[in-house]
Amino acid sequence: MESKTQFPDPSQVREELIEKYPAKVAKKRNKSIIINDPETVPEVQANVRTVPGIITQRGCSYAGCKGVVLGPTRDVVNITHGPIGCGFYSWLTRRNQTKPETPEDANFITYCFSTDMQEENIVFGGEKKLKVAIQEAYDLFHPKAIAIFSTCPVGLIGDDVHAASREMKEKFGDCNVFGFSCEGYRGVSQSAGHHIANNGIFKHMVGRNNEKKEGKFKLNLLGEYNIGGDAFEIERIFNKCGITINSSFSGNSTVGQLENAHMADLNAIMCHRSINYMGEMMEAKYGIPWMKINFIGAESSAKSLRRIAEYFGDAELKAKVEEVIKEEMPKVKAVIDEILPRTSGKTAMLFVGGSRAHHYQDLFSELGMKTVAAGYEFAHRDDYEGREVLPGIKVDADSKNIEELKVEADPELYKPRKSEAELEELKAKGLEINSYEGMMKQMMKKSLVVDDISHYESEKLIEIYKPDIFCAGIKEKYVVQKMGVPLKQLHSYDYGGPYTGFEGAINFYRDIDRMVNNPVWKLIKAPWQKTADSEKESLSASYVTQ
Ligand code: CFM
């Protein structure tokens, strides 16, 4: 869709963004700053190393493995093997909510477990200390599972966390102990940690419990981490429709759920980036297809519900889904009718993670707002351009670092949930079966797509476009707000949420309305900073342009 709004010439913007860089850096960044065309979808350079010295938004492999994928499961004891500084990240730091069924049920999310490695352990090895820590955790909590996460020094000194885990697992007999080689440097970003986590959960957890749960339409919700209660809202809607969440990867999840995941009939994937490996491996081993869904945005939620019903192909379910949509939509519509006149025509920029920079564009478009620039921190080309580019992606040395599991059909448990012909028929109906279209096909022509945006580039973009809202995280928040532009945190939701489903859409509309229509942003500049020309302007990144 071509925009009617007048925006700066994007080629000129790109020039301006890279102009101050040394030639080599400019050449590299040029490949990650792309002028979008939804028809032809140009190639984006993604999932490559950040240029040293550039301030990136990215995190590390340990963050992706422990923090993102394993963190939200409440009854695993997650031990960080490393110095205490990394240990900070072993407890709840990401607003991933959880709801134990009874007050007695295990919930270790609020605990912080670390082996607290000292210089002595770095010099003489830390495995002994690790085993003592595992024993202590077992004696104190008797958990169903203990997971060990390697931080950078562990890989450097060569501690074998896998052997230590195996030894302790055998010793206990009733506790599943396994380790992750997710040292921070394993990849170019947290994305490597996602892959490592997927492999570990697949190898050590999925398939251990063949119990058949109740429910006619059973799916796994993949890539939904229950930030701000998002998964609770999806569960509320599913319950109304009669759809059962067999297991969730991994918001509000338990060890038992993950071990039983192979008994579901569909893997519905919210965040493709962090968990697509799991979808593929479960398809190969158990015959469960995966399908991309999106519950961010009221329209997208309705569409996703219809797709799930179409997948199961049951007339009663389809009717129920329509009934639920009819019931939920009027309250959404009432709020949008009130807010739309105030938000319509405003502009947004989204630079976050590996999936939300795409998903949240749906909510902004429901608000009548335009996304003028967006990008992921650590996604791969397929998240931008669509999965059809996968065969053409060169595997570089950084990606080779991560094990690709060889997965074969399970001799007993492999059961294709749909035949090839049925899958083709579903695809023909527009269902994204085992595929994902990516972000760019949905974005406006001539909007900017920037991968792994630098701090400097963010400031320049704000200066040039003066967007009405900028979406990123806590590291960017106050710098951006000091420029007179409100920043919405799309990682933690600024203590708000949920933003999924119908209730979530309403929450989001209201929060964004309050932010973009708040007059305070025009008052950011201190009186002594004002000149006659800049009186009306918001603060600019003047130190950048001088
Ligand atoms: Fe997936 Fe996520 Fe995201 Fe992500 Fe994340 Fe997150 Fe995110 Mo922060 S798993 S890629 S590694 S949707 S923690 S819940 S908000 S960067 S866009």
Among 2-6, 90-94, 201-205, name the one with the lowest average pLDDT.
2-6
CA of 227 to the centre of ligand 1 (A): 9
Annotation marks residue 271 as catalytic:
no
Check the CA dihedral 198-201-204-205 and report its sign: negative
Q: What is the pLDDT of residues 159-207, one digit of tens each?
A: 999 999 999 999 999 999 999 999 999 999 999 999 999 999 999 999 9
CA of 536 to the centre of ligand 1 (A): 37
Annotation marks residue 284 as catalytic:
no
pLDDT-derived band of residue 1, with 50, 70 and 90 as boundaries?
Answer: very low
- Average pLDDT over the chain reads 94
Contact 327, 345 (CB under 8 A): no
pLDDT-derived band of residue 539, with 50, 70 and 90 as boundaries?
Answer: low
Task: Domain of residue 103: give its range.
Answer: 61-184
Q: Does ligand 1 lie within 6 Å of residue 190's CB atom?
A: yes
Q: Does ligand 1 lie within 6 Å of residue 225's CB atom?
A: yes
User: Which string of b and e fits 253-287 if b means at least 16 CB within 10 Å?
Assistant: bbbebbbbbbbbbbbbbbbbbbbbbbbbbbbbbbb
Judged by DSSP in three states, 152 sits in helix
Listed in sequence order, the residues at least 6 apart from 420 whose beta carbon sits closer than 8 Å to its beta carbon are none
Task: Assign residue 124 the CATH number of its domain.
Answer: 3.40.50.1980
CA of 491 to the centre of ligand 1 (A): 6
- The mean per-residue pLDDT over the stretch 501-523 comes to 96
Instruction: Tell me whether residue 124 is in a domain.
Output: yes
Pure H helices in 401-528: 420-428, 455-465, 474-481, 501-516
How far apart (Å, rounded) are the C-alpha atoms in residues 231 and 222? 11
Q: What is the pLDDT of residue 88?
A: 81
Instruction: Tell me whether residue 347 is in a domain.
Output: no
- The mean per-residue pLDDT over the stretch 62-80 comes to 96
Q: Which of 14, 29, 60, 86 is catalytic?
A: 60
Annotation marks residue 471 as catalytic:
no
- The total domain count for the chain is 1
Q: Does ligand 1 lie within 6 Å of residue 354's CB atom?
A: yes
pLDDT-derived band of residue 5, with 50, 70 and 90 as boundaries?
Answer: low
Q: What token pair was written down for 283?
A: 């398809």
Preceding peptide of 416 cis, ω within 30°: no
CA of 353 to the centre of ligand 1 (A): 5
Instruction: Tell me whether residue 425 is in a domain.
Output: no
- The mean per-residue pLDDT over the stretch 209-214 comes to 94
How far apart (Å, rounded) are the C-alpha atoms in residues 64 and 190? 4
Q: What token pair was written down for 407?
A: 């997965």
- The mean per-residue pLDDT over the stretch 52-65 comes to 96
- The mean per-residue pLDDT over the stretch 386-405 comes to 92
Q: Does ligand 1 lie within 6 Å of residue 355's CB atom?
A: yes
Instruction: Tell me whether residue 175 is in a domain.
Output: yes
Which of 189, 191, 491, 492 has the most ligand 1 atoms within 8 A of CB, as the residue to mutate? Answer: 491
Q: What is the pLDDT of residue 546?
A: 35
Tokens 């950084």 — which residue?
Answer: 398
% of the chain surpassing 90 pLDDT? 91
Contact 33, 448 (CB under 8 A): yes
Instruction: Tell me whether residue 50 is in a domain.
Output: no
Instruction: Tell me whether residue 344 is in a domain.
Output: no
pTM: 0.95
Phi, psi of 398 (to 5 degrees): -65, -40
Contact 460, 543 (CB under 8 A): no
How far apart (Å, rounded) are the C-alpha atoms in residues 195 and 217? 28
Q: Which of 63, 357, 471, 505 is catalytic?
A: 63
Greater confidence (525 vs 535) lies with 525
**33 forms bridges with which residues in the sheet?**
450
C-alpha gyration radius of the chain: 24
Residue 493 to residues 94, 223, 226, Cα–Cα distance (Å): 10, 17, 12
Annotation marks residue 60 as catalytic:
yes
Q: What is the pLDDT of residue 540?
A: 54
Q: What is the pLDDT of residue 240?
A: 98
CA of 6 to the centre of ligand 1 (A): 32
Name the nearest CA neighbour of 118 among 84, 166, 88, 144.
84
- The mean per-residue pLDDT over the stretch 86-101 comes to 88
How far apart (Å, rounded) are the C-alpha atoms in residues 531 and 516? 25
Q: Please tell me the residue having the least CA distance from ligand 1 atom 7.
A: 353
Q: What is the pLDDT of residue 87?
A: 86
Contact 357, 376 (CB under 8 A): yes
Instruction: Tell me whether residue 130 is in a domain.
Output: yes
Contact 347, 9 (CB under 8 A): no
Q: Does ligand 1 lie within 6 Å of residue 346's CB atom?
A: no
Q: Does ligand 1 lie within 6 Å of residue 353's CB atom?
A: yes
Please give the number of the atom of ligand 1 that sits closest to the Cα of 357. 17
Q: Does ligand 1 lie within 6 Å of residue 376's CB atom?
A: no
pLDDT-derived band of residue 543, with 50, 70 and 90 as boundaries?
Answer: very low
Instruction: Tell me whether residue 148 is in a domain.
Output: yes
Greater confidence (164 vs 535) lies with 164
pLDDT-derived band of residue 2, with 50, 70 and 90 as boundaries?
Answer: very low
